[in-house]
């Protein structure tokens, strides 16, 4: 029984699909990431890496304040791979000159060295004028690559603008290390079949263990019965074929001859000799 069960389990392992993929791609600084040319708030960037020399640092204007709000997801430090991320960027003009908001750029970089770009997202052009003591809100979205799941990255979001005199400024709206995580999509098909397979294996093991314990207990608890041969009894003999006279004679109890003493036997012998 145990041998048959073992062969069945091996066959089940070969037939059922239980492939679990563990994917981790090592990224090299020498690889190049090309910027996606598609326009729109949610780009699908190519998964190559681009190295750039550090550009001249452009400082933000002291008369401008910026802030950022992640609307999807709510936690900015954990972004789902392959899912759109939505953010709102607020801009406040505290000065006396008009500000012209030009573009907004975002990228994923190596957390150890921000000079290496891992994924560039589409640059969005707003071309919006913000008057003094006014505020404006801009929406932006991007999609982290699925190949970057379960790894830390540096997320940089920069807003470029200039004043009415032509002076160019740039504010780093967000510049922190984030974690790209796998999206929580509930129970997918692969995980469902894996759970079914594990439950089937557990049931088979329990059934096999029960059969083995039951058969082992029966062998030790049950003693072999000794066969006793019985002789032929009188009640099993068929007397129908005998004549009635014979049956009547058999049914009569036999008479025992009286026990004779030695003297009586001698007298009988002497009588028999005299008669002769």
pLDDT in tens, 48-101: 334 344 444 789 999 999 999 999 888 889 999 889 999 999 999 999 999 999
CATH architecture of 30-181: Sandwich (2.60)
Q: How confident is the model at residue 128 (pLDDT cuts 50, 70, 90)?
A: very high
Give me the helix-helix angle, 2-15 and 189-221, nearest 10°.
170
pLDDT tens for 13-30 read 555 544 433 333 333 333
For residue 155, what are the β-bridge partners? 108, 176
Q: Which residue has the higher pLDDT, 177 or 50?
A: 177
- Kindly tell me if the per-residue pLDDT of 32 is higher than 60: no
Domain boundaries, the chain: 30-181
Structure tokens given for 195:
């759970």
Per-residue model confidence (pLDDT) at position 272: 57
> Of 117, 127, 188, 124, which Cα lies nearest the Cα of 153?
117
Comparing 5-14, 26-35, 130-139, which segment has the lowest mean pLDDT? Answer: 26-35
- Predicted TM-score (pTM) of this structure: 0.49
- Cα angle 112, 150, 107 (rounded to 5 degrees) comes to 50
């Amino acid at each position: 029984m145990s041998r048959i069960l073992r062969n069945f389990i091996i066959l089940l392992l070969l037939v059922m699909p239980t492939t679990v993929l563990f994917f981790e791609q090592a990224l090299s600084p020498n690889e190049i990431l090309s910027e996606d040319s598609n326009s729109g708030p949610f780009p699908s960037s190519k998964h190559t890496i681009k190295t750039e020399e550090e550009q001249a640092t452009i400082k933000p204007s002291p008369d401008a304040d910026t802030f950022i709000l992640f609307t999807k997801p709510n936690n900015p430090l954990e972004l789902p791979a392959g899912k759109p991320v939505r953010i709102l960027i607020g801009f406040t003009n505290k000065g006396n000159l008009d500000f012209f908001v030009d573009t907004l750029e975002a990228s994923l970089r190596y957390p150890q060295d921000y000079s290496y770009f891992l994924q560039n997202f589409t640059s969005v052009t707003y071309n919006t004028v913000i008057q003094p003591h006014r505020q404006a809100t801009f929406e932006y979205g991007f999609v982290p690559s699925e190949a970057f799941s379960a790894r830390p990255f540096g997320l940089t979001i920069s807003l470029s603008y200039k004043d009415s005199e032509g002076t160019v400024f740039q504010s780093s709206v967000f510049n922190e290390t984030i974690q790209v995580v796998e999206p929580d999509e509930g129970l997918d098909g692969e995980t469902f079949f894996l759970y079914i397979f594990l439950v089937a294996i557990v049931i088979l093991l329990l059934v096999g263990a029960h059969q083995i314990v039951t058969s082992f207990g029966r062998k030790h608890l049950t003693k072999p019965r000794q066969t006793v041969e019985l002789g032929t009894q009188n009640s099993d003999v068929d007397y129908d074929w005998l004549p009635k006279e014979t049956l009547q004679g058999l049914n009569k109890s036999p008479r025992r001859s009286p026990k004779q003493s030695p003297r009586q036997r001698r007298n009988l012998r002497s009588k028999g000799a005299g008669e002769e």
